[in-house]
Amino acid sequence: MHYLGLDIGGTTTKAGLVDDTGGIRESRKVPTPIDDLPLFVSRLIDLICDFQKTTPVDAIGIGVPGLRSSRTHNIETSPNIPCLENVNLEKLVADQVHVPVVSENDANAGAYAEFVAGAGKGVRHMAYLTLGTGLGSGLILNGHLYRGASGYGGELGHTITRAGAPGDDTGRLCGCGSRGCLETLVSATGMVATAAELLREDPDSELHRVDGQLTSELIYDAAVRGDFVAQQVFRITGRYLGVACANLINLLNLEMIVIGGGVMASGDLLPKTAENAARLHAFACSYRECRIVQSKLWPDAGMIGAAMLARDR
């Protein structure tokens, strides 16, 4: 049997033909149209038909960056792909390709991938975090993907770390419209914002000499060369990540936290700081039960998870 996993990102859509065990047989990438639904759907259909020409596809899973209602199967909100708002994507696609289609929040799909075929195989209680432009997260509880009452659960990135009185601007503005979300601190975007704040106090940092836009990769390179501000960005981000892990551990008594994403791929300053902060803030007995590990399937977790959800629908 073969399943097609689609991972829809704000700039690129990745598609992979996945076998029963979660192995990728073939994969492709296309740009994502973000504000034209007919174009979005026709690109997706072309991509799917391309795979169907050579291999029969038994079911299709689509990972979407947004909140999907498990009641109506509509995508309620997708800040980075506005044309998907209030759209039942799985129905639109299934009507044209005549194969069963499921959709799921992209980080939930990633969590499911790590659970069935990655770092979390055999684990019953785990969280998956992915640090990219934002902070995605999904939960596996009691051996099942946890969606909450209507599919919107597991959004650690939008738990609030700093909240002011109504109207004041405490906490950074988040893509979701709220202020002070964890994602505004623990993500590539958050790291750049943290660097910008620190640079105001430190005229000597080499980050002042960066040509063009500052990125988390450039901050990492400067940290490796010993730049104080850049290293401080990793320490601060790692500390917030670790506190978030401690919160998850104390709240859910997890066996494992799997962390993936582009930011994590850059050395072990961030994971080490995060682990130390988690150890410091979680109950010792609960921390001992939980392993904090790197993702095994990143950057393909979303794609594999969507395919596995289609397999297990």
Q: Considering Cα of 101, then 105, then 110, then 114, what sign does the dihedral take?
A: negative
The window from 3-11, 91-99, 170-178, 256-264 that contacts Zn ion (CB under 5 A) reads 170-178
Using the minimum distance from each CB to Zn ion, give the nearer residue, 163 or 251: 163
Binding to Zn ion by residue 178, rule CB under 5 A? yes
Using the minimum distance from each CB to Zn ion, give the nearer residue, 156 or 282: 156
- Applying CB under 5 A, the site for Zn ion has a residue count of 5
CA distance 222 to 216: 10
The window from 71-79, 175-183, 207-215, 253-261 that contacts Zn ion (CB under 5 A) reads 175-183
Binding to Zn ion by residue 244, rule CB under 5 A? no
Using the minimum distance from each CB to Zn ion, give the nearer residue, 109 or 174: 174
Binding to Zn ion by residue 174, rule CB under 5 A? yes
Q: Judged by CB under 5 A, which of 68, 158, 172, 179 binds Zn ion? A: 158
Binding to Zn ion by residue 80, rule CB under 5 A? no
Using the minimum distance from each CB to Zn ion, give the nearer residue, 178 or 253: 178
CA distance 248 to 11: 30
User: DSSP letter string over 238-307?
Assistant: HHHHHHHHHHHHHHH--SEEEEESTTTTS-SHHHHHHHHHHHHHS-HHHHHT-EEEE-SSTTSHHHHHHH
CA distance 182 to 184: 5
Give the residue among 294, 250, 242 at the shortest CA–CA distance from 273: 242
Using the minimum distance from each CB to Zn ion, give the nearer residue, 188 or 223: 188
Residue 181 φ/ψ, nearest 5 degrees: -65, 150
Closest contact distance (angstroms) between CB of 181 and Zn ion is 3
Dihedral, 255, 260, 264, 268 alpha carbons, nearest 10 = 30
Closest contact distance (angstroms) between CB of 214 and Zn ion is 22
Closest contact distance (angstroms) between CB of 188 and Zn ion is 15
Q: Is there a contact between 128 and 107 (Cβ–Cβ < 8 Å)?
A: yes
Q: Judged by CB under 5 A, which of 24, 176, 192, 198 binds Zn ion? A: 176
Give the residue among 141, 137, 144 at the shortest CA–CA distance from 159: 137
Binding to Zn ion by residue 265, rule CB under 5 A? no
Binding to Zn ion by residue 181, rule CB under 5 A? yes
Binding to Zn ion by residue 193, rule CB under 5 A? no
What are the residues binding Zn ion (CB under 5 A)? 158, 174, 176, 178, 181
